[in-house]
């Protein structure tokens, strides 16, 4: 391996591969170190349509489309006594916009694509730690995963930490990862063969079905398996496991027996894997960037999987991070200004989704249940998150004031438990979520900067953008 690189990327998941590929396309020299050897297992199978424009920008969309993943027509929610669905619009020619993916295959496509774009990729190489000169990150020490004695040091101008939940910088160096006191959940999941299709909702949909102490996902995959997972509260999970002699399978089976929709899909099906368990606590780092470094994807923040937002946030942050870093390296903006743009825009995107997930949990009608109560943001937390400002930011992106007022009212109705408006909170949430505060719009500039793709992916200053003609 070389002794120095212009940009080092830690981790080859969706955040790392996307950032590496986009930076290589911009002509920078990029080295990526990935701890595992691909293909490797990963959870996070239900992908949102918002990933498509980024994959198009990366030039990998056709490869993802051609692979044969299960097209995802949307989502079906059975939430307490209510049933709702979200339909994703297709492209004009009926090409799906989103997929259910086997992550080992999906992540391999993205990593191979980064390699084809010129990224030097090393698999089976783990970053042990990052070296700082004062407060500036300057080099990483690595070792070969299969032989911890073989390793070295690689210097860099910049590093993007995309090491996922292990979060090399946030957990080992900066110690700035903060866990939310809501969404302290545990996920337990497994795979099934010969399951029946979900008889309702859009075709290929993810099914999300609540039970008293949590919810199940059911995701159909193109390899013929159905991914079925339980998300429940940490305490509830530990209590059940204690009662059931530490048997995770028994906890899962007991909850499954109370979930008729998923049970029906599993009638006659065969479980083909053991149980996998992960504490999917939500967290956020106090800052997403510092001298010489950026954090992207799960290395920066993680959100409860309820709305399948993980890969979206990973690729979105990779795109924002690439634009910010590319402009710094080209001498167009200062590191301080670019990092401020990156941190603010990414944090707003995360915060907005955090609020949507919380509002969605709150819309559950059986609020007396412990699990659903535990997902409620407290008033203090809301104040700290400045939810009002988050909504303001959502709605300030809208040109038409009537729409803005309506969207604001829909969210307020849900926060304050009003039953007026559309009874499907997903319709309301979708509408609010669709009202993006686009970082491409000069009107949404942060510190005078906004995102551009032409002539290159980067940041542009509103001072340099053409002024509209006076009318
Ligand atoms: C239970 C559960 C269900 C989920 N369901 C969904 C879903 O349906 N849809 C969705 O979009 N998201 C889902 N997610 C979230 C999704 O898994 C993640 O958000 C997504 O994988 C983040 O991508 P990433 O690139 O940031 O990190 P990762 O995909 O985790 O990639 C990080 C990479 O870094 C490597 N690495 C780690 N440490 C080092 C090191 N020291 N040196 C070198 N390499 C290192 C790892 O091997 C890994 O390959 C779910 C998560 C959980 C826990």
State pLDDT tens for residues 101-110.
999 999 999 9
- Predicted confidence at residue 403, as pLDDT, reads 39
- Predicted confidence at residue 165, as pLDDT, reads 95
Q: Which helix (H) or strand (E) segment is 405 a member of?
A: helix 401-415
Average pLDDT for 218-245: 96
Task: Label residue 380 by pLDDT band (50, 70, 90).
Answer: low
Of ligand 1's listed atoms, the one at least distance from the Cα of 15 is 25
Of ligand 1's listed atoms, the one at least distance from the Cα of 14 is 25
The closest alpha carbon to 374, from 358, 363, 387, belongs to 358
Give pTM, 2 decimals.
Answer: 0.89
Of ligand 1's listed atoms, the one at least distance from the Cα of 206 is 8
- 95 vs 220, which has greater pLDDT? 220
Q: Give how far Cα 162 sits from Cα of 79, 118, 279, 338, Å.
A: 34, 18, 19, 18
- 51 vs 226, which has greater pLDDT? 226
Q: Ligand 1 centroid to 106 CA: how many Å?
A: 12
Q: Tokens standing for 352?
A: 């907005």
Average pLDDT for 250-273: 97
With the most atoms of ligand 1 within 8 angstroms of its CB, the residue from 43, 109, 282 to mutate is 43
- Predicted confidence at residue 376, as pLDDT, reads 63
Q: Ligand 1 centroid to 13 CA: how many Å?
A: 6
Does ligand 1 lie within 6 Å of residue 161's CB atom? no
Q: Ligand 1 centroid to 105 CA: how many Å?
A: 14
With the most atoms of ligand 1 within 8 angstroms of its CB, the residue from 52, 314, 322 to mutate is 314
Residue 395 scores a pLDDT above 50: no
Task: Label residue 469 by pLDDT band (50, 70, 90).
Answer: low
Q: Ligand 1 centroid to 342 CA: how many Å?
A: 20
Say if residue 99 is preceded by a cis peptide, omega within 30 of 0: no
Give the C-alpha separation, 354 to 377, whole Å. 10
Does ligand 1 lie within 6 Å of residue 300's CB atom? no
pLDDT digits (tens, 9 = 90+) for 34-57: 999 999 999 999 998 888 889 999
Give the C-alpha separation, 361 to 410, whole Å. 16
Give the C-alpha separation, 160 to 288, whole Å. 10
Average pLDDT for 127-154: 96
The closest alpha carbon to 252, from 280, 226, 271, 225, belongs to 271
Of ligand 1's listed atoms, the one at least distance from the Cα of 163 is 34
Mean pLDDT of the chain: 85
User: Please, are residues 261 and 207 in contact by the beta-carbon 8 Å criterion?
Assistant: yes
């Amino acid at each position: 391996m070389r002794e120095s690189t212009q940009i080092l990327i830690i981790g080859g998941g969706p955040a790392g591969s996307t950032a590496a590929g986009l930076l290589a396309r911009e002509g920078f020299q990029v080295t990526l170190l990935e701890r595992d050897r691909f293909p490797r297992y990963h959870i996070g199978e239900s992908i949102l349509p918002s990933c498509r424009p980024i994959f198009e920008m990366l030039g990998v969309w056709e490869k993802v489309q051609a692979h044969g993943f299960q097209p995802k027509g949307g989502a079906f929610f059975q939430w307490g006594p209510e049933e709702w669905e979200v339909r994703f619009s297709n492209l004009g020619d009926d090409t799906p916009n989103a997929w259910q993916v086997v992550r080992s295959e999906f992540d391999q496509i993205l990593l191979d694509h980064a390699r084809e774009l010129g990224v030097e990729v090393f698999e089976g190489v783990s970053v042990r730690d990052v070296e700082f000169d004062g407060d500036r990150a300057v080099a990483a020490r690595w070792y070969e995963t299969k032989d911890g004695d073989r390793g070295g040091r690689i210097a860099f101008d910049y590093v993007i930490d995309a090491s996922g939940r292990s979060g090399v910088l946030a957990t080992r160096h900066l110690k700035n990862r903060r866990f939310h006191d809501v969404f302290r959940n545990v996920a337990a999941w497994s795979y099934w063969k010969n399951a029946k299709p979900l008889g309702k909702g859009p075709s290929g949909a993810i099914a999300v079905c609540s039970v008293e102490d949590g919810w199940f996902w059911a995701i159909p995959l193109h390899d013929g398996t159905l991914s079925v997972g339980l998300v429940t509260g940490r305490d509830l999970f530990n209590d059940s496991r204690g009662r059931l002699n530490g048997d995770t399978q028994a906890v899962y089976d007991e909850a499954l027996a109370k979930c008729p929709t998923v049970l029906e899909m599993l009638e006659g099906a065969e479980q083909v894997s053991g149980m996998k368990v992960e504490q999917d606590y939500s967290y956020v780092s106090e800052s997403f960037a510092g001298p010489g470094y950026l954090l992207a994807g799960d290395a920066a923040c993680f959100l409860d999987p309820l709305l399948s937002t993980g890969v979206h946030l990973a690729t979105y942050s990779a795109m924002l991070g690439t634009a910010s870093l590319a402009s710094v390296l080209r001498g167009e903006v200062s590191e301080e200004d670019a990092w401020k743009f990156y941190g603010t825009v990414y944090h707003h995107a995360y915060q907005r989704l955090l609020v949507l997930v919380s509002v969605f949990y709150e819309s559950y009608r059986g609020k007396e249940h412990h699990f659903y109560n535990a997902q409620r943001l407290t008033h203090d937390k809301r104040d700290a998150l400045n939810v009002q400002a988050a909504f303001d930011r959502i709605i300030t992106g809208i040109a038409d004031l009537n729409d803005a007022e309506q969207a604001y009212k829909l969210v307020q109705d849900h926060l304050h438990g009003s039953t007026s408006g559309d009874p499907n909170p997903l319709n309301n949430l979708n509408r609010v979520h669709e009202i993006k505060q686009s970082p491409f719009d000069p009107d949404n500039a942060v510190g005078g900067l906004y995102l551009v793709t032409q002539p290159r992916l980067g940041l542009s200053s509103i001072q340099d953008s053409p002024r509209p003609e006076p009318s």
